[in-house]
Structure 1
Amino acid sequence: MSGREMMAALIAGERNPKVLAQLARSVLRKKISELEEAFTGGFDDHHRSLLARMLARIDGIDADIAAVDEHIEAQLAPFAAAAERLDNIPGIGPVAAAVILAEIGVVMSRFPTAGHLCSWAKFSPGINTSAGKTKGNGSSGHGNHYLARARPPS
């Protein structure tokens, strides 16, 4: 918040380092003198124009992300109960639950057993050991790459 307000003040034309540093909030207030030193220097209309364009681009991307999030929520609405059940599993949050539902769905009949699902989703590594030596990397390279990335780190 402090940084964004400081950048907005720079775009608006404020150039006084003391005034800009006073926009600092909470923990950043401990660094007022360093901020004053950082704001001392050349910041002209060219920099102001570039900064305004960069912030506008960030705002546009934030708006795009919010629109995609709304679309995902709308698509996930019919599966809200399943998403909530998945979200209750330790290590699975709302995003991972949405990925699981998007990749697997709610109909499990195409997987004869839970083991088949785990294997398809790359949650069942194979271990090939012979004469005390492990061969291979334990992964066949098959399965759903998107679902495999949704799992929590081990």
Structure 2
Amino acid sequence: MNIKLTLVLSDITGKSGMRIIEAILAGERDPKKLADLADIQCKTPKEEIAKALEGNWEEDLMFVLRQNYDTFKHFCVQLDRCDTELEKLMENYRTEVAEAGRPSYSPTKKRRDYHKRKRTVGFDVERKTYDMWGVNVFEIPGISHLTALELMSELGHDFTRKFPSSKQFCCWCNIAPNTKISGGKRISSHVPLRRNNVGLISRSIASSLANAKNQLGSFYRRIRSRAGGKAAVIATAHKVAKYSLPWLQTKHLITQKKSV
């Protein structure tokens, strides 16, 4: 329809885009009135938005637009239902694995520096992870709502009993080099070609830290300048799994209690 909304809005499913699309479907055709519906935080001038909304409004394409809009809304409702059902299952799981004496969840521990996504989980993932592990995994740079849920589904609450040391855990995650030494010389140290979901999640966390302004981000860039991007991802993922994941902190707390 000669509409170029994607050229003036970075995301047409955001507030500005959805308001404009809903007004078009309601019968509004004036480009200036449609441009005025853009959110106040939109950086594109309204004059440019109005120029991008000068269309021919063909009926068949309007029908296609409404079909796509209805489909988008349907999937949004389905995602909300999935979040509701997932929260119920996690609540049932939490009651089954509840431990006596675990520290209560404190909202003051919430991490505020992660980027807010347009589409987030419909419940407090941070609270659920704290109830499961007793530590706030969102203090780890690079952790998002989705990666936290993936770790919860892959690891469960009692995986600390299966790995006596961080070395064994990193080897199981396939983020530790398989160093082969013969005659006092290192022959190879390649990571095995083996798929592990927790290792893939750790690598995705490491990849998100490429430009982060923190210690892990500096570590990633230092390894990348010396050995390349792949080695930097593996090394940073290894550091995240070895020093940051909650199972080590839990073991540390247990050790402290025994020593006391």
Q: TM-score, normalised by structure 1?
A: 0.78
Aligned length: 152
Structure 2 stretches lacking a partner, 5+ long: 1-14, 98-127, 207-235, 237-260
Q: Distance in 2 between matches of 1:96 and 1:61?
A: 21
Q: Map of 1:4-153 to 2, 5 A cutoff?
A: 4-28=18-42, 31-77=45-91, 78=94, 80=128, 81-83=131-133, 85-91=135-141, 92-107=143-158, 108-128=160-180, 135=188, 138-142=190-194, 144=196, 146-151=197-202, 152-153=205-206
- Aligned-partner Cα distance in 1 for 2:161–2:59: 64
Aligned partners of 2:172 and 2:27: how far apart in 1?
58
In the alignment, is the contact (CA less than 8 A) between 2:35 and 2:50 conserved in 1?
Answer: yes
What percent of counterpart residues are identical? 20
- Match of residue 5 from structure 2: none
Q: Give the deviation of 1:122 after TM superposition.
A: 2.0
The offset of 1:7, in angstroms, is 0.6
- Structure 1's 93 and 7: CA in aligned 2 closer, same or farther, altered over 3 A? closer
RMSD over equivalenced CA pairs, Å = 2.9
Tell me the alpha carbon deviations over residues 19-45 of structure 1, each in whole angstroms, 9 at most, x when there is no partner.
212212214375121122111121222
Q: Please give the per-residue CA displacement for 1:76-108, whole angstroms capped at 9, x wherever unaligned.
A: 221641255252541334433332232122223
Residue type of the partner of 1:105? G
Report the TM-score when normalising by structure 2: 0.50
Query: Structure 1 regions of 5+ residues with no counterpart?
Result: none
Change beyond 3 A, Cα 1:37–1:96: closer
Gap change, CA 1:94 and 1:33, over 3 Å in 2: closer
Decide whether the 8 Å contact of 1:128 with 1:135 is kept in 2: yes
